[in-house]
Structure 1
């Protein structure tokens, strides 16, 4: 069994967490981080085979309980259905990590309406409705909770060729703040993390070219892109008791990119 990545108050032992988009990139690293911290997990994604592999790998490495749900969050009824299934997996939820997202880069003046709608459906509508449904479950349970939105630095600063993406992530950050305001009195915290480029496998493919990366890196004072663990560590902290007074914030994991 793997050595745990977290100790002390960063442990999530006994917590029940739903993580969307959990088989690739940032989501896969968040799932591994939560498993290492001792949380029992409900992992969602669209590919049942990838979910089965993630469940087997993480259960063997960390000895936690894991359930999976293969679902397409772009479908209108999917957020409510996922909330229902996930809430029943371990008789309640303590943490929601809204991570699933899509991007179809194109100039604003060339926006494809179908791709715009698809971006809003997956990046804004689905996570907002999922958080609403999970939040209602947490309120009914009366035990508090943590809702964590994986947004983007593109929610805080405009990114060329990402018209729909920026709009969807900015909307999601504000939706998360509304959750923080309304659910806070029930002991439920809602926060967003806003990473810059993250060097996942896909990130490496897109931004590995030095010529393409140079203008973006020039805008980051630390002079580098993020790695998945830097996002996961922040998400684990927000889910933990160490962040018990953190509510309604959007944390830029961007090396200073959004300072302006």
Structure 2
């Protein structure tokens, strides 16, 4: 029997890039902690990154520290809770391709002791400000026709409950719902919307909670990998979700929780 070679060229899939060259990115809460780490990662991947925060001195320190590592960050003094003023400030930026909403607030109290002031403060940052910053940036993404990636830094506490964290959990569960609604509406514009949900990361935000020995032991028992998270643990997931490697991922959560929610 004769055998004939198949001369047709085989087309192989090509690995998508994780590079972000030519992309513009805005990171709120970008002067410290997870936000700063995310900004460094995006810049290292090639994006032009602007970090936004209220404290001008902290922003300058972050820019200087990044420069020491050979990375360029631009700073933007911004109070995201002052909605109308924030929109004016954001209008000074060109359209962005990537938005990382990392600004966050936690005020932990027993449920029956939560004050209206603390409730309003947490919701103002974690939900309301995130909503309207995203709205403004999404408009710019839509106008360019280039699409984009919006990444909310949520929490494992957007998927499980926690003692003393009723308001924080409520804000993060709401953020998870907002993410799905945004993804549903913005998908036809090529705008992807996802959350990164860390466990307890060793940052200023978690320092006071983790200083309690009993709570620290509880955390270590709950994280199946047996260690606290570090800001570096969030850098890869943020770059991934921002990049073409995540081109078909929207409306979902990337849990970076060391297995906390596995059981």
Q: Residue 95 of structure 1 corresponds to which residue in structure 2?
A: 98
TM-score, normalised with respect to structure 2? 0.88
Displacement of 1:26: 0.7
Partner residue of 1:38 out of 38, 46, 50: 46
CA distance in 2, matches of 1:250, 1:127: 16
- Which secondary structure does the structure 1 equivalent of 2:49 belong to? strand
Q: Residue 83 of structure 2 corresponds to which residue in structure 1?
A: 76
Correspondence 1:25 to 2:33: yes
Correspondence 1:129 to 2:132: yes
> Between Structure 1 and Structure 2, whose CA radius of gyration is higher?
2
C-alpha contact (below 8 Å) 1:79/1:129 kept by paired residues = no
Displacement of 1:62: 3.2
TM-score, normalised with respect to structure 1? 0.89
Partner residue of 2:58 out of 41, 46, 50: 50
Per-residue Cα deviation, 1:182-213 (whole angstroms, up to 9, x for no partner): 11111110000111100125545542555431
CA distance in 2, matches of 1:27, 1:83: 18
Q: Residue 9 of structure 2 corresponds to which residue in structure 1?
A: none
CA distance in 2, matches of 1:222, 1:56: 34
Correspondence 1:156 to 2:159: yes
Correspondence 1:62 to 2:42: no
- Which secondary structure does the structure 2 equivalent of 1:10 belong to? coil
Partner residue of 2:182 out of 175, 179, 184: 179
Return 5+ residue gaps in structure 1 as ranges.
1-7
Q: Which has the higher helix share?
A: 1
- Which secondary structure does the structure 2 equivalent of 1:9 belong to? coil
C-alpha contact (below 8 Å) 1:191/1:248 kept by paired residues = yes
- Which secondary structure does the structure 2 equivalent of 1:33 belong to? helix
Is the deviation greater in 198-207 or in 168-177?
198-207
Q: How many residues align?
A: 248
C-alpha contact (below 8 Å) 2:20/2:45 kept by paired residues = yes
- Which secondary structure does the structure 1 equivalent of 2:69 belong to? helix
CA distance in 2, matches of 1:167, 1:204: 21
